[in-house]
Structure 1
């Protein structure tokens, strides 16, 4: 009978390289931009322009706060009650937002992604969503973070590695930073004509409406100070430029800030003013403005119940789906 040879005592006493809690770190740089991507969740841990933070960062050896900077897949936002129907079957996902009773932000946020390509200005990472309870399909996820003079572009590509079609959606989750002044003083611009209103307690959709339904809270088509409004809504109906790009901006009083730019692969965006329990007493309260371009609406896995196009992507066997967005400095 085969047995393993004894392990030398020296092997147990030798120092081991320790991976930071947020995973293997990948630093990239181009011109005045520098970014660090953490392997866990393919998370944008930091992004600076001329040493100015463009996103709220976190430490390498820190459990990533909530979903700060994470890549969200195979769905962004929420699946209400964690339940949906697809392929003629009912699926039940684990409830990862227990206070509201939903499945939140997909399955890869705590998955370690591994590098498959890298140079000084870009890194490509890959991870595998294995078939599991509630999502019984295998999907290969690749994401590339690339810096150039325009900023940081992230591209996410999913490949269906199974024999049947799969539901899919993706988004990033950065908290953008305009400057050192409070978020209330930042000027926000969002070229969105429609907002998905939600219940206050569980954030379940109550319908798609023109932003004028509550203009003081939702209409930022003309940039203006955020003030004290609290937002955690999805928006759509964008005014886009000749290249099909939508652009949200947030700036401080001096005119410096940051923009999120996305193409038609993302017909939705989630905006969150990062209001947390405890309010001002919570040190992380309203630290940044989450701007999350999404390929689909919240609860898109239940798209059949919506009276609007929720944008759910269905990937056929062997096929792929790709989405991208860019973060760039202003001023």
Structure 2
């Protein structure tokens, strides 16, 4: 695979058998995460498309806002579309901006992005903010921190999360427990919260199969487990406080990946009668919020740890 490093230079992090690549200019995304030779995340394909990266940050909101329209501080706001002809703006703006490298060491890096709500950029988000992310490898795994500060003069709604992709690589198994799941209408927006049906229940880890999910789970236990039996490799995802929602996306063939996305709020939470009840936070001017995620791999076969 040819990776276009001239278009998007990659920062490399290493710690023991773990290695990671970071793409500051491509949405501050991860290009890869490896345990020895094994790809723990679907690796970047070298294109100029952040949706083909390994994982990217979600901010200042996750998933969709219905038709880009919502009310805040007594005003109706309208965002422009950011995903082709899709009717709902998607995943905020952090994934579509180049990030600045603030620090880079062999095992870690810190990136930031500054948004000014001026001119056309105000149609992406009507408040000024600065966001940052720290990525650090340890012997245990990859530690991610993502934060945002409201630099505007009014309270700002905010949400944070991550969008990691995992290759199926055979019968990928997934496990997580959640209290409820949101069913979506034909418009792709959540409209009904129900108990988790049997076909969507991964409380006992099992092969993902063709379950066909693109749904937000609520009240998950902040841990997800992925296991590739043929390789004897497992990955435990541990979410810190404030990531009480999990979006699971399992597209049909020929797509050979799934996405398991820990996020702070429900899709389109800003248009519910009580957004804060669904995880959205309101930041006063100058206030910040931060979230943490850990990706912790393990191997049953020591040979996977060597190049």
Structure 1 length-normalised TM:
0.82
Q: For residues 305 and 49 of structure 1, what CA distance do their matches in structure 2 show?
A: 42
Residue aligned with 2:48, SS: coil
Q: 2:250 aligns with which of 263, 273, 276?
A: 273
User: Any stretches of 5+ residues in structure 2 without a counterpart?
Assistant: 300-307
Q: 2:107 aligns with which of 111, 121, 134?
A: 121
Tell me the number of residue pairs that the alignment of Structure 1 and Structure 2 aligns: 289
- Residue 324 of structure 1 corresponds to which residue in structure 2? 292
Deviations 1:237-287 (A, max 9, x none): 223xxxxxx211121234423222102220101111133xxx43xxxx1x2
Q: CA deviation at 1:170?
A: 1.4
- Residue 231 of structure 1 corresponds to which residue in structure 2? 213
User: Any stretches of 5+ residues in structure 1 without a counterpart?
Assistant: 1-17, 240-245
Deviations 1:196-255 (A, max 9, x none): 1112x32111211110xx211x1111112222211111112223xxxxxx2111212344
Q: Does 1:78 align with 2:57?
A: no
Equivalent residues of 2:29, 2:50 under 8 A apart:
no
Q: 1:136 aligns with which of 126, 130, 147?
A: 126
Q: CA deviation at 1:172?
A: 1.1
Q: CA deviation at 1:304?
A: 2.0
Q: Does 1:289 align with 2:272?
A: no
Q: For residues 98 and 304 of structure 1, what CA distance do their matches in structure 2 show?
A: 29
Q: For residues 51 and 155 of structure 1, what CA distance do their matches in structure 2 show?
A: 25
Q: Does 1:256 align with 2:241?
A: no
Q: For residues 50 and 187 of structure 2, what CA distance do their matches in structure 1 show?
A: 21
Larger Rg: 1
Q: 1:66 to 1:169 in 2, by over 3 A?
A: same
- Residue 160 of structure 2 corresponds to which residue in structure 1? 170
Q: For residues 95 and 241 of structure 2, what CA distance do their matches in structure 1 show?
A: 24
Residue aligned with 2:179, SS: strand
Q: CA deviation at 1:294?
A: 0.3
- Residue 154 of structure 1 corresponds to which residue in structure 2? 144
Q: CA deviation at 1:96?
A: 2.5
Residue aligned with 1:109, SS: helix
| Runs of 4+ that moved beyond 6 A | none
Q: Does 1:27 align with 2:4?
A: no
Q: For residues 252 and 159 of structure 1, what CA distance do their matches in structure 2 show?
A: 38
Deviations 1:288-328 (A, max 9, x none): 2211110111012213267x921111111111100011112
Q: 1:140 to 1:67 in 2, by over 3 A?
A: farther
